[in-house]
Amino acid sequence: MAEITLIEAIRQAMDEELARDPDVFIVGEDVGVRGGVFRATQGLYDKYGSERVIDSPLAELSIAGVGIGAALYGMKPICEIQFADFIAPAFNQIINEAAKMCYRSNGEWTVPMVFRAPYGGGISGGLYHSQSVEAFFTTPGLKIVIPSNPYDAKGLLKSAVRDPNPVLFFEPKKGYRLIKGEVPEGEYTVPIGPAAVTRPGSDLSIFAYGMMHYYALQAAEELAGEGIQAEVVDLRTLYPVDRATILESVRRTGKALIVHEDNLTGGYGAEIAATIAEHAFTDLDAPVRRLAGPDVPGVPFSHPFQDWFMVNPQKIASAARDLARY
């Protein structure tokens, strides 16, 4: 199997789906000739033409609206939002139209579309190019997928394109070229829904997704050298979330550390904490702990303040160490 980067895996998935299904097309800002701001669609415009890789106006509302309309009539759009920070203008279309269409039509209309958006900090992008917005969209009717490695990124994106429901596919931009992994040459998909235990352990469970899962594995490796065996669970899908795997892990270890880079208050980790409290409280040997970004309006631009805001392997290891010794 070839080792490729996260961004290459995403590009491969789109390339293969465009080749497989003539109803698939891509629309977004600069996705055509330029190949996207992160080059996720590089080469696809030349290969498939301007009618299937479409440069949109600088208007996220219109990207979402065009995608929803096309999906309602049988197309399978992949709508790229250049940065997750700019998805807000399309919020109404996504939440009130795409997410509710199947329900409000009693199943007569489906919306088979994907919204791709790079999210997260760590690249000195400042307030408007570093946000984690996944918690805003955890609502019935939408599926939310966040991969942490190239294998999953390719397989999950292919599943998202083929899903009859709208899928928000958030990609950790810091990991685009940093995270590498082996990806098979042949056809495969990864199902949307199941979480993955990526490192077994007995002393505590670490729940994470995206870039934070990548860091959690590094932290677990450091802890293993100290005799602390951390089990790492990659959530992969936030909605619907795999509660069974979460609870099975907590019941094995008795302790839970939930990690994400969004703000602590209102962040997605609260949902995981509530699930554990409701269904596995008597299995806990310590309070559930969350490690997240501080409650400030955004990730600062300067490197020292960005480092203060961002969760990293050292912070995860420190929090896990304290919890394991509780």
Active-site pick, 129, 260, 279, 303:
129
Q: How far apart are the first and last CA of the chain?
A: 42
In this structure, what are the phi and psi dihedrals at residue 263, rounded to the nearest 5 degrees?
-55, 150
Q: Would residue 129 show up in a list of annotated catalytic residues for this protein?
A: yes
Residue corresponding to tokens 């950790």: 172
Residue corresponding to tokens 């939930």: 258
Q: H-helix or E-strand containing 289?
A: strand 289-293
**Beta strand residue intervals within 202-318, DSSP E:** 204-208, 230-234, 237-239, 256-263, 289-293
Q: What angle do CA 204, 261, 214 make, to 5 degrees?
A: 60
Please report how the helices 313-324 and 211-224 are oriented relative to each other, as an axis angle in degrees rounded to 10.
50
- DSSP state for residue 73 in the 8-state scheme: T
Angstrom distance (rounded) from CA 85 to CA 132? 8
Angstrom distance (rounded) from CA 233 to CA 197? 4
In the sheet that holds 53-55, the strands lie side by side as 53-55, 24-28, 76-80, 114-119, 167-172, 143-145, 237-239
Burial of 148 (0-12, 13-18, 19+ CB in 10 A): buried
The number of C-alpha atoms within 13 Å of 208 and in the hemisphere containing its C-beta is 32
Angstrom distance (rounded) from CA 123 to CA 83? 13
Angstrom distance (rounded) from CA 168 to CA 77? 12
**Structure tokens, 309:** 């805001």
Residues catalogued as catalytic: 129
